[in-house]
Chains A and B, each alone.
Chain A
Amino acid sequence: MTTNPFDADRPPERTRRRGNGGGGGGGGRNGGKRRDESIMVPDVSFDSYYGRHIVKPAPWEKEVAAYLFLGGIAAGSALLGAGGAARGYPALQRAGRIGAVAGAALGGAALAKDLGKPSRALNMMRTVKLTSPMSVGSWILTAFGSFAGAALVSEVARPVIERRSRGARSGGAVALVAKALKLADGPATVGSAFFAPPLAAYTAVLLADTATPTWHESYRELPFVFVSSANLAASGLALVTVPTRENGPARKLAAVSALAELVAFERMQDKLGPTLSEPLRTGKAGRLLKASRALTVGGALGAVALGGNRVTAALSGAALMAASVCTRFGVFEAGMVSAIDPKYTVEPQRERLEKRRAAGVVDDSITTAR
């Protein structure tokens, strides 16, 4: 630490947890007129420019986190609905189809609201761009929404029309429509089930394909966390809405996806390492993710053990949906924290650079001596 006459005017500095080895924290420590840096830039053990972030956090608000949940529950519901249609669970089929459309519609609205220029939301459809997960995702959401919408139309309209056509003479226009709906039902179901996994998985790529440290570095495991969370939420919704005699598949799905999510999340934290997983373990994100784990375990156990009772099944289902909400908001929040604190940008980058240099790779650094 330096001493100069002006030090006397400063409040005493708090001690830092970790030292810097060298002579100070660069811009962060030796700037001109400063207030108590130890309060403004806590715990600097790396160089930064006045503790300001290097990468910018995504300018996204909670609508985007909500979309992560809504898109997931829509995708999972479509799968449950399709399974219900294939295996003869009419109530599950109906709940799944409604969940798919509601989730996709609400999610799409949330996305549009978060745009800087919502009036230009349709510019997303200007082009197809494979290097942009958001472009790919917009098309996935559109395709999914169309198929799920068609399936729901058929679900709602068919009984009405069939009743009417039975009353009227057969062969009329009403009967034709009924026939068309019957024909469309299968492809619509298959289509929504086909686009469901991409819908649930692409949101992980959406977050990972950024410079946000914790999101990007978790790209190998995040898709598994997200698809599990999607299935979990959808099984939760089904447990709430479907009578017990048809909730067998939802209970099984809850158990499987809870297990998958817990495993994938643990793996993700391990792979991130102590620094980059810190935002997932601490602060608001840490609390959300801890709550998510408790709700996942509780909800899944409830679904398996007490799913035979209408009330306890619904309670377990609500817990599972809440778990998915917590997961999404937690991961979202952790990424924001990792972008805002320059530590998460500088430390891992320094580390990997030094590692490469130690291994003798010296021709791929952005800083060069000549």
Chain B
Amino acid sequence: MGFWRNQLSGPTDPAADAAWETSEPRKGFFTDTSICIGCKACEVACKEWNGVPEDGLDLLSQSYDNTGALGASTWRHVAFVEQTSDRIEQARESGRKLVSLGMPSVRSGDEPALAGGGGTATATLTDTLTDNPVPDVRWLMASDVCKHCTHAACLDVCPTGALFRTEFGTVVVQDDVCNGCGYCVAACPFGVIERRSGNEGHEKGPQSHGISIKGAGGAGDTAKGSHQNQPAHASSNGEVKNVGIAQKCTLCYDRLGAGQTPACAQACPTTSIKFGDLDEMRATARARVAQLHELGYPEARLYGVDEHDGVGGTGSTFLLLDEPEVYGLPPDPRVTTADLPDMFRKAGYAGLTMLAMAAAAFVGRRK
């Protein structure tokens, strides 16, 4: 079982596991949502560079976020949340709790020095720091993207081999191989990848929006018992390619190959999206969260930096200012294939049970 365990969960180097011989350092993002201004330049740059089709111009009438969610034609999504003081106080509380848990960034016993914080002890953070006054209102803006998981469920379950691990440790779909089985869509614990819908060629039919808004007409409506989104929006223009194919962020594989920065990171005017070697990104993230704690923002926390989490750490790391679910991120994702050996074992027992039942039916006197 050693092989399985290594391959399906826990810390590992995914590119090496995928048998890449060239040792490129693993690449990733650090998205610092504390300095995001919600300009959506990343969304636009991604669409422009990757030729991602338009996916609906409807207003969702819920917030300044009219993109809604990540999907087949939305590879960066800027979330927008407005909070008032009671919610902010709650976020601070959960942040303080997190700090006091003394959650280590590494499994070893020795305390890692807080970069930027000069080794401030946990106790200092919680006890003596004076927090900033809680404002009346705040806006959370966060640019979400594919996590390029260490253990990517989408890749594990893909039956055609269309999804693959690049030499940079990222996860990419080969759109000429994918046959649109949709398994990756159901497997991704972050709800990132999606099958593109619409009409091939000139767009006429409804397009994928990746959003289901319960109770709201239009975008969330389901047609004849189907659970797929049938967004109601004005007929728009533009070619739709790769209809029926699973699509998501490629971490700009083409640009990485040429030594370039991904389009979204390049376009971000505030450096909220940082791109680089994953080790560096994780270090930057740790330094930044320590700095924010020192400045009196205990609500700051990191997401995806710990390689002992349910997906073995993510390639896209985030600094959040509230619980992950507030941004539409799962609070404790776990790669579904971690349980796969056990699933197959249970299925094996069930198969034997089935045989036994059938055999039992033939036992006895021939009538």
- Nearest-CB distance from A225 to chain B (Å)? 9
Do the beta carbons of A39 and B215 come within 8 Å of each other? yes
Residue pair B309, A370 in contact (C-beta under 8 Å): no
Q: Are B323 and A368 in contact (CB under 8 A)?
A: no
Given A33-B63, A349-B333, does the pair A26, B185 have CB atoms closer than 8 Å?
no
CA gap between A32 and B79 in the complex, in Å:
12
Contact B347 A204 (CB under 8 A): yes
Q: Which residues of B contact A220 (CB under 8 A)?
A: 342, 346
Is B215 touching A40 in the complex (CB atoms < 8 A)? yes
Residue with the highest number of chain B CB atoms closer than 10 Å, among A33, A60, A127, A209: A209
- How distant is the Cα of A27 from the Cα of B305 in the complex, in angstroms? 24
Whether B159 lies near A134 (C-beta < 8 A) is: yes
Of all chain A residues, the one with the shortest Cβ separation from B226 is A61
A252 in the interface (beta carbon within 8 A): yes
The verdict on B270 contacting chain A, using a C-beta distance below 8 Å, is no
Size class of the contact patch on chain B = 35 or more
**A80, B360: Cα distance in complex, Å:** 11
Task: Decide: A210 and B186 in contact? CB cutoff 8 A.
Answer: yes
Q: Is the CB of B82 within 8 A of A30?
A: yes
Query: A256 contacts which chain B residues (CB < 8 A)?
Result: 357, 360-361
B residues near A350, Cβ cutoff 8 Å = 325, 331-332
**Closest CB-CB distance, A336 to chain B, in whole Å?**
5
Q: A24-B87, A75-B354, A129-B159 are in contact. List 12 more A-B contacts (CB 8 A).
A: A27-B79, A30-B84, A35-B61, A52-B211, A62-B225, A83-B362, A116-B179, A201-B348, A202-B347, A205-B344, A208-B343, A224-B353
Shortest beta-carbon distance, A258 to chain B, in Å? 10
Docked Cα-Cα span, A2 to B366, in Å, equals 76
B86 partner residues in chain A, CB cutoff 8 A: 2, 22-24
| Chain B residue contacts of A55, Cβ below 8 A | 186, 188-191, 330
**B350 lies within 8 A of A52 (CB):** no
B191: A residues at CB distance < 8 A: 53-56, 211
10 A-B interface contacts by CB (under 8 A):
A31-B82, A49-B325, A75-B354, A201-B348, A208-B343, A245-B367, A252-B360, A252-B361, A260-B353, A353-B332
Beta-carbon contact of B156 and A132 below 8 Å? yes
**Taking the complex as formed, is A369 at the interface, i.e. its CB lies under 8 A from any CB of chain B?**
yes
Q: Which residues of B contact A345 (CB under 8 A)?
A: 330
A117, B194: Cβ atoms under 8 Å? no
Contacts of A40 in B (CB 8 A): 213-216
Determine whether the beta carbon of A363 is less than 8 Å from that of B190.
no
Nearest opposing residue in chain A for B99, CB measure = A369
Q: B8: CB under 8 A from chain A?
A: yes
Known: A46-B325, A59-B194. Is A370-B347 also a contact (CB below 8 A)? no
Please measure, in the bound complex, the distance between the C-alpha atom of A133 and the C-alpha atom of B81, giving whole angstroms: 38
Measured CB to CB, the closest approach of chain A to B110, in angstroms, equals 13
Cross-chain contact A336 with B227 (CB below 8 angstroms): yes
- The answer to whether A367 and B337 have CB atoms under 8 Å apart is no
Is there contact, CB below 8 Å, between B81 and A253?
A: no
* Residues of chain B lying within 8 A (CB to CB) of residue A250: 361
Residues in A lying within 8 Å of B, measured CB to CB: 2, 4, 22-24, 26-27, 30-35, 39-42, 46-62, 75-76, 79-80, 83, 86-88, 114-118, 120-121, 123-124, 126-127, 129, 131-135, 138, 196-198, 200-202, 204-205, 208-212, 216, 219-221, 223-224, 226-228, 230-231, 235, 245, 248-250, 252-253, 256-257, 260, 336, 339-342, 345-346, 349-350, 352-353, 357, 362-370
- Chain B residues within 8 Å of A80, by CB: 358, 361
Considering only residues 182-232 of chain B, those with a C-beta below 8 Å from chain A are 182-183, 185-191, 193-196, 210-216, 225-228
Q: Contact between B212 and A53 (Cβ–Cβ < 8 Å)?
A: yes
Distance from A229 Cβ to chain B, minimum over Cβ atoms (Å):
10
Cβ B354 vs Cβ A230 within 8 A? yes
Taken together as a complex, chains A and B put the C-alpha atoms of A211 and B105 apart, in Å, by: 26
Q: In the complex, A22→B98 CA distance in Å?
A: 17
* Contact with B178, one of A117, A118, A228, A339 (Cβ below 8 angstroms): A117
Interface bits B96-111 vs A (CB < 8 Å: 1, else 0)? 0011011111010000
Closest to B308 in A: A364
Given the complex of chains A and B, what is the CA–CA distance between A75 and B228 in angstroms?
A: 30
- Contact between B333 and A47, CB atoms less than 8 A apart: no
- In the complex, residue of chain B having the shortest beta-carbon distance to the beta carbon of A308: B367
Report chain B residues within 8 Å CB of A47. 323, 325-326
Query: Is B57 an interface residue, CB under 8 A from the partner?
Result: no
A161 to B219 CA separation, bound complex (whole angstroms):
61
Contact indicator B336/A224 (Cβ below 8 Å): no
The one of B82, B189, B304, B322 in contact with A211, judged by C-beta atoms closer than 8 angstroms, is: B189
Which residue on A lies nearest to B117, using beta carbons? A370
- By beta carbon, the residue of chain A nearest B245 is A116
* 3 closest Cβ pairs, A-B complex: A116-B180, A116-B244, A23-B86
**A-contact 0/1 string along B317-349, CB 8 Å cutoff:** 000101111111111110011011011101111
Known contacts being A210-B336, A367-B320, A369-B95, is A32 close to B62, with CB within 8 Å?
A: yes
Residues in chain B near residue A257, CB distance under 8 A:
357
Which chain A residue lies CB-closest to B60?
A50
B350 close to A248 (CB less than 8 A):
no
- Whether A133 contacts B157 in the complex (CB less than 8 A), given A50-B63, A124-B179, comes out as yes
Min distance, Cβ A227 to any Cβ of chain B, angstroms: 4
In the complex, whether B80 has a CB less than 8 A from a CB of chain A is yes
Is B354 touching A132 in the complex (CB atoms < 8 A)? Answer: no
Of A48, A57, A210, A362, which contacts B227 at CB under 8 A? A57
